[in-house]
Amino acid sequence: MKKPTPFLTERQIAKRVKELGETIARDHKGKGLACIGVLKGSFVFFADLIRNIDLPVTVDFLGTTSYGQQTRSSGDVKITLDLSVPITGKHVLLVEDIVDTGHTLHYLLENLRLRKPASLRLCVLLLKPGKLLKPVPIDYLGFTIDDRFVVGYGLDARERYRNLPYIAELPESAREEE
């Protein structure tokens, strides 16, 4: 299996993640921050991001699915892993890898708002504005990309390619390989 060619390099990603972490820390100065990563795709970005936030942070995860083993979202969002601690009254940062249609994040933001955090902000590594069906309020954005199927840096195709240290477009022929 040939590795796909990067279009966002390790260096570009690291630089932008550092900038995001510094901005988040500045915006939340003097506050603790409950950071929530959306599994599985955001785990690499999430780990790098929180190491660049110079604040007291707590870490938790939400698991969701809307893809299953497919390469297209079904639009039906399910929580597969819920938070381990309450977020009521806390300043919360939700961290996601990519926004395609917006269905998952729209659902998660509504769900988290019902839990009454003091504040709720969203940090997203990648946005595909051309695919957006449900607008979501992104407070911190890494990169805007064209409508392409991307892998690497935590993003997958049928659970593969998450370990690539860069982000690459995956040709359709490679998406269907077993």
pLDDT at 34 over 50: yes
- The secondary structure of 40-79 as a DSSP string is TTTHHHHHHHHHT--S-EEEEEEEEES-TTSSS--S--EE
Report the pLDDT averaged over residues 20-30: 97
Report pTM: 0.91
* pLDDT tier, 1 (very low <50, low <70, confident <90, very high otherwise): low
Every domain of the chain and the residues it spans = 6-175
Active-site residue, from 100, 139, 147, 156: 100
What is the average pLDDT across 112-135? 95
Give yes or no for residue 5 having a pLDDT over 80.
yes
pLDDT at residue 86 above 50? yes
CA 71, 95, 44, 65 torsion: positive or negative?
negative
Task: Specify the pLDDT at position 145.
Answer: 97
pLDDT above 90 (res 67): no
- In CATH terms, the fold of domain 6-175 is Rossmann fold (3.40.50)
- Residue 110: how many other CB atoms lie within 10 Å: 9
pLDDT of 178 reads: 43
Q: What is the pLDDT of residue 17?
A: 98
27 is catalytic: no
